[in-house]
Structures are given as structure tokens and as C-alpha cells.
Structure 1
């Protein structure tokens, strides 16, 4: 293939013309049976026939995916092969449709209950400002979860396509380089447990705060309110895990490309470094490897954009809801601390539980988006440092860099703003501003109450 050809077509079944050592995985080459992303199975025999199992790339987030499947937010897909998933069966599709129907019915029931005296037992306040904040927060919670269910149902095919593209990309990496990517996704289970514990604790606090006997309708409202918050938070963790998967693959090709940079090429020729990996790659292999890198990079960008398209509406709603929840709970803490009467331990625990859950979710989302975006943009920067003596190598580099200049990589909330490591700081800046406004409204209400007391006496 001529180096001046920009359209890259790589064979999918043809193996390398030269043996390629397992040297470029940034996380090392691991034994297949312990690998978390790809693994080699023994060839089928009469005694041990081939059995299709769920692919290991999604094994570490199996728990969180099972929760989303059971709640109708994820399709109950069929495993076609080790590197392909298929659409759900009619039975599973009907189950997801039924669950989503029940969810929307309960949402309508909750909205109706909130605007009737039924909810007065659970949602009450002593000041008008507190009352408005509480109702806005509740409506944002309902809106966020309803939008999450609607968007997930609409993007079923897109999510399956993203999963298949990740699996196919892993298959190519395994066949082309024999490399196994390994990463620990234990954080998803930890967050799932933390969300369940937080929601349970919040509901218990709410039950103890209610005066009198709680009606069955109130129990339904509380239970569904906890489910709405829990499942929305679970989906955010799932989206962060998907971004982490993409980040690992971007990092893989960047480490592969880094072996051709000027600094690596100038180091003394050693077979392996202290980590057991090759320090530098032979420039003779660059044309062949660069074709694979460009193709893989384009696929990863497509997957990255696909995840963004599937999540952007949910992210806008969730960020708005989290912003308001953090603000109202900071406001409630301020009211409790500055109150002249006795401080309520129940309210303090309630506020801290909400703040811990939402701040940790915002930090996880911001970090996952920031890492993936940074790694996606780093490919062009690394390529610019490639040691290219020959003109044909330079032509390959120039063509990729020319395309990268026009390609801005960002993970956005429906295009309104980019989500990265600075998002958490921006949210807290906005929380501080809105908190000052709420405190001023509270002081205005207090002054009106103080003025009315002498008039009555």
C-alpha cells in the first residue's frame, strides 16, 4: 500500500507477515486465564465442546449490567459468539418493555401524589424558600429518571452496536499483537454497594423523621423515590465504566506509538526494560503498525462519540439534578448550623448522605471523561514526536496530523459544555453562587417574620 493513501483498509483475517512479540501492552501480558479483557480458550474437543460465554471485557461490570438489565435500562442481549452480541429475544424484549411501562405508570402516580394532600406527610417545610427548593429537587429527580428510561429505550440498538465494536476491536488487537489488556473495574461494584447503602440509609432517616403512622401510599412514594435515585446513579457509574474501557484502549495504542518516538529510538538498544517490555520498536515496522493504529484510533473515536450520543441527554439532566441536590443540602446544613434552636441530627445525617453520594458520582464522571478525552487527544501529540528519518514515514505522519487538527475530541453534555476534570470545580462554583442567593432569600423571610411579630403583639 502506498504511504500516500489515506483511506486505510486492513485485512481482518490475514495474519502478520512477521512474528510480533507480546511487548506493547501498557499493562503487561498476562496469563489468559487471569486476564480481564481477552482470554484464550483451549480448542474444543469431544469431551469439552465449545461453550459461548459472556465476553470478559464486560465481566467486571457484570453486576452493574445485571441491575440495569433487570430495570429495563439495558437490553438483555444474546451472546452470539465470544466477540459478538445479538439483539434480545422477543421474551426479553417484552420483559424490558413491561418494566419500562411499570416505571412510567409509577412516575405518573408519584407526580399525582405530590400534587395532592397525600404527600403532605412526607414532604413538608417551615419556610417558603425551603418548600420551593424541595419541590424543584423532587421534580428534577422524577425528570432525570424518566428521561433516563426513555433515552435508554430509544438507544437500545446503539448500545448494542457500541458493545459489538468494542468486542471486534479487542479481537483485532488479540489477533494482530497477541496482547491482553487488563484493568480492574472493582470501583463499579463499590459504587453500586455505596449507592444501595446510601439510599437505604436516607429512606430510614426519612421514615424516622415522619410524625405519626406512615400510610401505604407514603411507603410507595419513598420506595420509588429511592429506586429512581439509585438507578440513575447506577447508570452514571455504568457510563463511567464504558469510558474507562475506551480510555484503556486509547492508552494501549498511545503506548504502542510511543515506542517509535524520537526519545525512545535514541535510547540504548536493549531487548527489554525493567518492566519486561520492549523500550523501542524497529522503524521498519512503523508503516505496518501505523495502519493498524490509525484504524484503531478511528474506531475508538467512533465508539467514544457513540457513548456520548447515547448519554448526553441523561448527563444534562443528571448534572442539573446533582447541582440542585448539592445546593439544597448545603443550604440545609447552613440553616441547621445557624439555627438558634437545637440542631437536628436526622437532617445533618440526611444532608451528608446526599452530599457524599452525589459528589462522588460527579467526581467519578468528571475523572472518567477527563482521562478518556486527554488520552484521545494525546495520540496526535505522540505521533508528532515519532522519529521519522525516511520521507515515506513522514508522509504517513503528516496525513494523520492533518486530519487530527480538524478533529476536536470532547465529551459534552448535549453540546452545552464539555465534561472533564474541571467540571467538578465549575459545579461547585455555581453551587456557591446559588447558595448565596438562597441564603439571602432566607434572611429576607426571617426579617419579614421578625417584623410581623411586634405588629401582632
Structure 2
């Protein structure tokens, strides 16, 4: 199936859609990127086709279950063999984590992250421990939420099956960005490994290679999971958009200028469509909340780690630029810019995905308030839907600590600026103590 396609399957649905288009500018005909008519598209509906590469990476790394494709609209639990494979991979991951923590305590491993200043040392060690904690927690949470992830996928597939059966429309995902981000993650991590190995002095032992490689894998897989969570939110957002466009077809603005006969013919399908919209909206809200429950603990840890990584790299850039010796290390500059590029892109993606989905979920009640409900029957349907919608406060949270939306990126960088000022003050204090010691020695 090509993305962004409509699939007209049954004659009854086709005639129904044609009648609607002849009566009014129905929301399906508004021309969204997500809903484009393509009569020759296949009937199959592989919803997760756009994120197939990321799913393969996460399944191979044990973060997602290797589920079975029962049909185009259903996935089943993993087989015993696949379940054992995921368990084995997670065991290897935890063993490598323990090995790397032990290796970091040795002089050979410590030189990877050690530098000249005490403040720099503390920052790098905290950043490294946050990376280990985030990835280890991601593995634990993913192992615990295996059934929940499969249930989320099946809920989305069943919803799409119902849309296809009732309206003859195959909803797309618009998740092609996932491949671009996967390439960005791989490129940044490969470049960071290259720089780290290039600046090392002396003989590089196999332990050092393992330490550097696994550190990059931890960062890469955690970032890939964030892209996966963002893709799930984008999929849900597209379906909220479909519901809102369907509902918007009955608004005053869309029906303005029509004759009484046209209005009557158009509104005949409102009771049936309103029932579908109400049921689908509630199902999407459940899926939305399930994604939040599955990913929120991972996301809050990633946000903490990402915040600290962005802060330390801005700090390292500041130290290089304000170096009194006038020597700027190009390797450190490239290292910092690679980290900043990666984490800024991921934070932007996550914030925009959460914000767009939350906005689409909350805008339904606003559209419903503009629906043309001349008869008492229609008005009663609208009032019941509005009463339920107003009581539902929808937001995507970081484990309940704060809401993630379009303003999250600004809040994070505001906090980065504050903490950066604190780090610079520590650096200046450390420099002044060093100068006093040199004066006393002289």
C-alpha cells in the first residue's frame, strides 16, 4: 500500500461517498496529505509499514516483542522462540551494562571521559550514568509492557479496519520521517565513535572498543525508541484528524448556502456518523492514554538525560571558546555539535508529535460546538457528546510530572540556560582557586 491513499472497497461505500460529495464539501474531499484518493491501491492495510525499519531495529534489540502478523488488521503475541530471543538479548544487554560500569572504574576505562577540570569530570560522569540508567530503564519498561504494545497496535488496526469497512477509506501514517531520524541517529553515533577513538592516546584495548561501542548503542537505541513513540503519536494524530474532518463536514460553515432539501439529505447520515465519531474518538483517547502509560517513564528519563547532555555540550563549547590559551580543539567542537544536533532534533520531534496529537484530541469538542443541529434529535446528540468531551482533559505527560507539548522545547532550553549559568560560575570559581594556588606557589 502506498502512503497517503484512499481505498474505495465496497460499492455501497462508494455510492455513499459520491452522494456526500455531490451534496456538500465533505471533509474527506478537503485534500489532506493523509487522505488522498487512490482507487487502485491494494485492499490490505499494513498500518505500520512506514515504521517497519524502526520496528525491525527495536525487535532485533529486544525492546519490542517479535509479534506475529495474524492478518492485515491483527498482530499476535510472539512465539516461544522469539520470546526466548528477546529474553536472551535483554540478558546480554544487562550483562554488558554491568561489565561497562565495572570497566569505567578501571584506569583504562576512566580515561575515555576524564578531563583536566574537576567540574568537567563530574558533568561527564553524571551524563554517562544518566545514559546507562535511561537505557537500562528502557529495557525493563519495554519488557514489562510487551502485552500493552501489542494491544495498542491491535487497537489501531481494528480502528482502521472499521474505517475501511464503513467509509472505504484506508488511513495512512505519514511516518516517513522515522527513516530520516534513524539515519540521523546512525550518522551522529558513528561520527561520535570516530571522534572519540581518534583522540585517544596510546594503545586502544578491546575493552575500550566495547565500552565505546556499547555506549553508542545505548544512545542510539534509546533515541530510536523515542522516534518510535513519536511515530505512534503521529499515527494516532492522523486518526484524530480523520474524525475531526468527518465531524467538520456537518458544521455551519460547510453547510452555509445550501437549500433546505440539500440540508435534509445531508443530515440524514448524521446520527450514524455521530455514533461512529463518538465511539472512534473514545477509542483513540484510550489508545492515546495507553501510549502515554507505556512510554512516559522512558520519556521522562530521556528528557532528563537529554537535558543534561545538551547542557554539558553547551558548557564544553563555552569552555573551548573562552579558553585563555587560545587553543580551540576542533574534535571537541565537532563532538559537541553532533550531540546538540541529535538531541535537539529528538526533543523537537517529541514535542511536536505530542503537541499535535493533544491539539487534535482537544479540538473535537470545539468542532462539535459548531455542528449544525437544527432538529431536537440532532441537538440532543451534540449535547451528549459535548458534555462528555468537556469533562475529558487530554494531555501527554512525562510520567505525570509535566505535560509535553509544543512549549516543552522552550521550557527545556530555558532550564538549560539556567543550569549553564551555574556551571559557568563553578568554572570561574575553580579558575580563581587555581590562580590563587599558582600565585602562592610563585
Q: What TM-score results when the alignment is normalised by the length of structure 2?
A: 0.91
Determine which of 167, 170, 173 is the counterpart of 1:180.
Answer: 170
Alignment of 1:376 onto 2:376: no
Counterpart residue number, 2:378:
393
Could you list the runs of 5+ residues in structure 2 that have no partner in the other structure? 1-10, 22-26
Counterpart residue number, 2:16:
20
**Counterpart Cα distance in 1 of 2:90 and 2:122:** 29
**Are the aligned partners of 1:121 and 1:218 in contact in 2 as well (CA < 8 Å)?**
no
Q: What TM-score results when the alignment is normalised by the length of structure 1?
A: 0.89
Q: What SS does structure 2 have at the residue aligned with 1:79?
A: strand
Counterpart residue number, 1:319:
303
* Per-residue deviation, 1:156: 0.3
Change (3 A) 1:29 1:440: closer
**Are the aligned partners of 1:87 and 1:160 in contact in 2 as well (CA < 8 Å)?**
yes
**Counterpart Cα distance in 1 of 2:249 and 2:120:** 59
* Per-residue deviation, 1:122: 1.0
Change (3 A) 1:17 1:315: closer
Counterpart residue number, 1:410:
395
Could you list the runs of 5+ residues in structure 1 that have no partner in the other structure? 1-14, 42-54, 270-277
**Are the aligned partners of 1:259 and 1:281 in contact in 2 as well (CA < 8 Å)?**
no
**Are the aligned partners of 2:14 and 2:168 in contact in 1 as well (CA < 8 Å)?**
no
Change (3 A) 1:140 1:390: same
Q: CA offsets per residue over residues 147-180 of structure 1, 9 Å max, x none?
A: 0000000000000000000000000000011112
* Per-residue deviation, 1:30: 2.8
* Per-residue deviation, 1:279: 12
**Counterpart Cα distance in 2 of 1:176 and 1:90:** 37
**Are the aligned partners of 1:362 and 1:424 in contact in 2 as well (CA < 8 Å)?**
yes
Determine which of 37, 40, 43 is the counterpart of 1:40.
Answer: 43
Counterpart residue number, 2:6:
none
Alignment of 1:102 onto 2:98: no
Moved more, 397-406 or 290-299: 397-406
* Number of residue pairs the alignment of both structures matches: 419
* Per-residue deviation, 1:213: 1.3
* Per-residue deviation, 1:184: 3.1
Pairwise mapping of residues 232-381 of structure 1 onto structure 2 (< 5 A)?
232-268=222-258, 282-341=266-325, 342-381=327-366
**Counterpart Cα distance in 2 of 1:228 and 1:306:** 25
**Counterpart Cα distance in 2 of 1:333 and 1:18:** 60
Q: CA offsets per residue over residues 78-103 of structure 1, 9 Å max, x none?
A: 01111110000000000000000000
Counterpart residue number, 1:30:
37
**Counterpart Cα distance in 2 of 1:117 and 1:256:** 64
Determine which of 62, 74, 81 is the counterpart of 1:84.
Answer: 74
**Are the aligned partners of 2:115 and 2:121 in contact in 1 as well (CA < 8 Å)?**
yes
**Counterpart Cα distance in 2 of 1:279 and 1:374:** 30
Counterpart residue number, 2:432:
447
* Per-residue deviation, 1:118: 3.0
Change (3 A) 1:239 1:33: farther
Q: What SS does structure 1 have at the residue aligned with 2:293?
A: helix
Structure having the larger proportion of residues in helix: 2
Counterpart residue number, 1:127:
117
**Are the aligned partners of 1:411 and 1:419 in contact in 2 as well (CA < 8 Å)?**
yes
**Are the aligned partners of 2:46 and 2:73 in contact in 1 as well (CA < 8 Å)?**
no
Counterpart residue number, 1:111:
101
**Counterpart Cα distance in 2 of 1:349 and 1:183:** 35
